[in-house]
Structure 1
Amino acid sequence: MGLGKVAGVGVEERRLISEIVSRVLKSVDVSSIGIRSLNLKPFEVLVAVILSQKTNRENVRKALESFRKEFKSVEEVASARVSRIERAIRPAGLWRMKAPRIKLIAKQVSKLENGLDEILKLPYPEAKKALSSMKGIGPKTADVFLMIARDEQVLPIDTHIFRVMRRLGVAGEREDYESLRVKLESAVEPEMRMTAHLALIEFGRSICKARNPRCGECPLAELCPSKVKA
């Protein structure tokens, strides 16, 4: 990938992002991270994305396993009581918030003639628009779903990535989701975007933490204007 200006992203900024991602990839092992090995149906992928918010991977796996045992179809989820969904996903935490959202999305998906397969056949902009038009699905959830369900070469931005990039001066305080996504994608090769997404999240969880960041162990310390001095 060349380093010319892309969508308002300057050459130096792209170099900085490229260096950040390169160092993070060398410091974080993401080989065992992901849910692709579970052979999930499209709706189960979407549920997994929702369950993953504000919890850890082990809790997601437990909740997803419980959910898959309890429900065999989108229609069954759509017609279920919220309390039943809550019991199934309890290991993921925040079940009272996530269960109504899962039911709401299931009701909308069940009305599609061919379910989520219908959306997965669309080009990326149209697929993302169709997903984001559903109540309960935002741009990040749509991007993560497409990335996992059909290998969309996108780099979704979560709270950990936002925090890392703000501290490094790549993202402004009022930077929005799409703006930062475009910035990062401009500096990361398409085939590396999923790996970069996972690595940046893990880096934010383990090193560049919201509280008590481990700046003394950070491979980005010399690049970071926000580093905490020992």
Structure 2
Amino acid sequence: MPEEPAENISGGDGGGGTPAAFAPGEADSRAEAVVDELGRMYWQKAYGGQDAFECLVRTILSQNTSDVASQPAHDALMERYAGRADLAEALADAERAALAETISSAGLYNQKSEMILGAAERICDEFGGADGFDDFVKDEDPGAVRDRLLDIHGVGPKTADCVLLFAGGRGGVFPVDTHVHRIARRMGLAPADADHEGVREALERDVPAEKCGFGHTAMIQFGREYCSARKPACLDGPEACPLYDLCDRVGVDEVDETVVDPSTAEE
């Protein structure tokens, strides 16, 4: 099995978790078959154990940018503010301009610094700091945790689900980023016009709970290596994509070598 690509924060060195191989067996759905095939290509890991507040900050930094850009911002933030016992308290007291400068490599740093400061203040007010928030994420009902996270400014469904998965270790959570949203609809694992929540619901329904977290990270890497937005590997022929036989290729015209968003593909 190849080593984990370090640039994928979700599944790479910063992802936490422990090895957890599973025997693919006979899949009960095409979505599960896809995840099992990805298991033959990439790593398998059970997630959980990250500090919940740091995970939240890391995921906010990764919004609308690559891991290559957000990782240095995360490292710089931790170097500057993690010296205190409680990271949430340190960031709640931070000066916004200084924080924005610290995370500038992540892009949209003014917006993200405001989101992080606001989240830190909420968590200190409602949970007494990072430790109380960590206990809440790991011990409370996942639905209640997700709703509470979504109530924080700047936290959308993908960010909330990443905290549930990587910090809470919750099974059955399949975060949907741009790669997962594109690939699931292109392959026909979710309706072509499904929004991010629709894709999440379809995948969490059809992929066993213990495989959802791994499916998320593996599908991201598959999107980077094979199923890109503009030139998926199948345009080079069936042999170029290892998942060709499991894919409907919605929006992909192999003859004309054109690609459109699945939601705009003709019936």
Q: How does 1:39-118 map to 2 (within 5 A)?
A: 41-72=51-82, 73-115=87-129, 116-117=133-134
Shift of 1:160: 0.7
Contact 2:46 2:214 in 1 (8 A): no
**Relative to 1, partners in 2 of residues 1:180 and 1:35: Cα closer, same or farther, differing over 3 Å?**
closer
Q: Which runs of 5 or more structure 1 residues have no equivalent in the other structure?
A: 1-13
Shift of 1:118: 5.0
What whole-Å deviation, never above 9, does each CA across 1:128-161 have from its counterpart, x for those lacking one?
Answer: 1111112211222111001111211111111110
1:225 and 2:242 correspond: no
Contact 1:78 1:107 in 2 (8 A): yes
- The 2-side partners of 1:174 and 1:74 are apart by 39
Greater fraction of residues in helix: 1
- The equivalent residue for 2:165 is 147
Percent identity for Structure 1 against Structure 2: 30
- The 2-side partners of 1:44 and 1:161 are apart by 23
- The 2-side partners of 1:87 and 1:35 are apart by 31
- The equivalent residue for 2:231 is 212
- In the superposition, the TM-score normalised over structure 1's length comes to 0.81
Q: How does 1:178-197 map to 2 (within 5 A)?
A: 178-197=197-216
Report the secondary structure of 1:208's partner residue.
coil
What whole-Å deviation, never above 9, does each CA across 1:70-92 have from its counterpart, x for those lacking one?
Answer: 11331231232222112221232
Shift of 1:173: 4.0
Shift of 1:20: 2.0
Shift of 1:101: 1.4
- The equivalent residue for 2:181 is 162
Shift of 1:50: 1.3
Structure 2 residue identity aligned to 1:183? A
- The 1-side partners of 2:229 and 2:35 are apart by 19
Q: Which runs of 5 or more structure 2 residues have no equivalent in the other structure?
A: 1-27, 258-267
- In the superposition, the TM-score normalised over structure 2's length comes to 0.71
Aligned residue among 171, 175, 178 for 2:190:
171
- The 1-side partners of 2:107 and 2:43 are apart by 23
Flag the structure with more relative contact order, 1 or 2, with Cα contacts below 8 A and sequence separation at least 6.
1
Shift of 1:34: 11
- The 1-side partners of 2:212 and 2:111 are apart by 29
- The 1-side partners of 2:127 and 2:210 are apart by 32
Deviates more, 1:94-103 or 1:155-164: 94-103
Contact 1:45 1:148 in 2 (8 A): yes
- The equivalent residue for 1:3 is none
Report how many aligned residue pairs link the two structures.
Answer: 214
- The 1-side partners of 2:58 and 2:150 are apart by 17
Shift of 1:66: 0.8
Deviates more, 1:141-150 or 1:210-219: 210-219
Report the secondary structure of 1:185's partner residue.
helix
Report the secondary structure of 2:34's partner residue.
helix
